[in-house]
Structure 1
Amino acid sequence: MQDQRAEYDEARDRLYVQLLDESVDNTVALDDRRSVDYTADGRIVGVQFAKPFAGGINLSGIPLARVVGALILQSGHKFRMVE
């Protein structure tokens, strides 16, 4: 899908991985650094990571983790993966 991408906001140290170009209806916080955005019908719009540069990225428990991880790698940003 051409609307899939990972965008990093260096000033805020936040990474957003967009999977769908759709409106967000609901956001579920997985913990204090990770949240998942959903459409009204339950499809995943994207995943936000807070402080990925400072604290690394944990894909454990992230829906579609393989796709999210691949998009992060394709973005060219060098983040440390943690468990």
Structure 2
Amino acid sequence: MSSEFQQLADKVAQLARLAQSLRDENTELRRNVKALTEDNAQLNQRIDEAYQRVAAVLSELPVAEPEEPAETTEEAA
């Protein structure tokens, strides 16, 4: 009987260690998610800034007049 209690106590201790290990892993994963979310926000901001700079440069470029399509010899025939 004492052996059964000892086995049960060992299993409970093992389960407690596993639960603590999972809590620690979960905490680390939450930290990683937070850091990656912040990095993602910064990268999105940089993309938006780059988009605005490109749009500003494009707005400064002169607009080309559309050319008349040249007739090909097949169309002329």
Which structure shows the higher strand fraction?
1
Under a length normalisation based on structure 1, what TM-score does the superposition of the two structures give?
A: 0.16
Which structure shows the higher helix fraction?
2
